[in-house]
Structure 1
Amino acid sequence: MSVRALSFGSVAEAYEQFRPGYPEELFTLVTTYAGGPIRTALEIGAGTGKATRLFARPGLAVTATEPDEAMLAELRRHVPAGVRTVRAAFEDLPLGETFGLVYVAAALHWTRPEGRWERMAALLAPGGVLASIGGPVRLADPAVERAVSAARAPYLDTDEVPSPDGTPPERAMQWPGTELERSGLFTDVRQETIPRRLTVTAAHYLGHLSTISAYLQLPDRRREQVFDRIAGVLPPTVDLDADLIAHLARRR
């Protein structure tokens, strides 16, 4: 796991405050795909528990794993008491116990590529479901996006994480679906989109940016400078395109 992947603990409270949660439609999508009751679930990279709260409900025992202690402490303040929490990176999770569902929300790209799918399959019961959820949060107004990009340019070319396997954005099947299909370990690979549009204040949007790893990697002074520049071009409120892209697959 990279240093960038472990940078979020310093902003755990901001992450909880400014990152959007997950809608009920996501739970329905995953459980409908499963085609039957899910009794046990393992969450990889749970962060502050945004997705944990969606899946932790009566009849579904959730184990939430997260490598950063500050993020895990924030998670424990917000999730039901019955959620089992484990401080561990995906690569360090012990094998042996298997789950009906393994899900990852906005964290799969931080896991190590080597052996990723073999380990994922080993954590799933035969026929178990893997769900990966992600998707960028982007400014909906092209003019505002251009202004923010220009303000950011002296500091960062982009604040997004590129596709881990280089899949171009115009391809119908995006990562990680591309790798899941090639792995031979999973079947019935699907890609589904849940439309999501948000309207937030400029201050809230800046708070969201403060939880993005690209900015967290900047020296403190440069981070302050780029946020000042971005604040200067934002209208009082901004619309965000924040569609959720879910990749679903079943262990062979």
Structure 2
Amino acid sequence: MSERALSFGAVAESYERFRPGYPAELFGMVMSYAGRPVRTALEIGAGTGKATRLFARRGITVTATDPDAAMLAELRKHVPADVRTVRAAFEDLPPGERYGLVYAAASLHWTAPDRRWERMAALLVPGGVFASFGGAPHLADPAVEAAVRAMRAPFLDSDDIPSPDGTSPGHGMRWPGTELRRSEWFTDVRQTVVRRRLTLSPRDYVGHLSTVSAYLLLPPPEREEVFRRIGQGVGEQVELIADVTVHLARRRQER
């Protein structure tokens, strides 16, 4: 898993171009849940800053962290100048400074499970908010999905990332909400889904796939061939379901 987690820097510019951003309503959702002013935030696995700009452009002082220097270099092109960047994995962040909000956008699954929530709690003020949001876009048409799966099969069994705790996709509470509910450090766990559809050209759909870690680990000739097949086989437009699943939780008050 760590190899996949560190594979994105080589395609940082494509990641910025082809990955969708986050809807503005997400900011209001997090702030409404917080129920009080949030002045500082720490972002885990910031990538190219898709979520960073959502919060930093609305008056929150954001510290954006990522273990990949190339991703942070791309991020700095797109976020306000006062965003602080730190090159570090979540597990390497030093304790001490605390924030009103800690969030992860499509990155929490790359963190190590050992002491994950204890580490998270140590980064938050008592009563502070943790937010995780994301979701891999998938093809809306089952027939197109089956065709792409067949084209991919000789090279790759699946491009999915399995749930870190084994929770099935159809379960009422998805990961990380399942873990948060079991954690002694957090309370008031909520899950919301923001519905979203995207329409892409075949070229942009392949561009999106070119930023998915499972494809990045393929040998270049195989990767080019599977992209060629998919690009020619998906039709003139590609309809994606790109729902954003949001998990919110509150750091328990210190006893």
Q: What is the one-letter code of the residue matched to 1:41? A: A
- Residue 147 of structure 1 aligns with an amino acid whose one-letter code is A
Q: What's the Cα RMSD here?
A: 0.9
Give, in whole Å, the separation in 2 of the partners of 1:58 and 1:184.
32
Following superposition, the deviation at residue 181 of structure 1 comes to 0.6
1:228 to 1:28, Cα distance in 2 relative to 1, 3 A: same
Amino acid at match of 1:83: V
Query: Which residue matches 2:84?
Result: 84
Partner of 1:112: 112
1:203 maps to what in 2?
A: 203
- Point out 4+ residue stretches in structure 1 off by more than 3 angstroms: none
Deviations 1:116-139, CA, capped at 9 Å, x for gaps? 111000000000000001112001
**Residue pairs, 1:1-252, within 5 angstroms:** 2-252=2-252
* Alpha-carbon distance in structure 2 between the residues aligned to 1:120 and 1:220: 37
Letter in 2 for 1:177: G
For structure 2, the residue ranges without an aligned partner over 5 or more in a row are none
Give 2:98's aligned amino acid. Answer: T
Matching residue's letter, 1:221: P
Amino acid corresponding to residue 111 of structure 2 in structure 1: T
Identity %: 70
Question: Offset at 1:58?
Answer: 4.8
Q: What is the DSSP-based 3-state SS (H/G/I as helix, E as strand, rest coil) of the residue aligned with 1:100?
A: strand
Residue identity matched to 2:201: T
Q: Which amino acid aligns with 1:34?
A: A
The superposition leaves residues 79-135 of structure 1 with CA deviations (integer Å, 9 ceiling, x where unpaired) of: 000111111110111100000000000000001111111100000000000000111
Partners of 1:136 and 1:19 in 2: CA distance = 10
- Relative to structure 1, the CA distance from residue 142 to residue 127 in structure 2 (aligned partners, 3 Å threshold; closer, same or farther) is same
Per the normalisation by structure 1, the TM-score is 0.98
Q: CA deviation at 1:237?
A: 1.1
Deviation of the 1:232 alpha carbon:
2.2
Runs (5+) with no aligned partner, structure 1: none
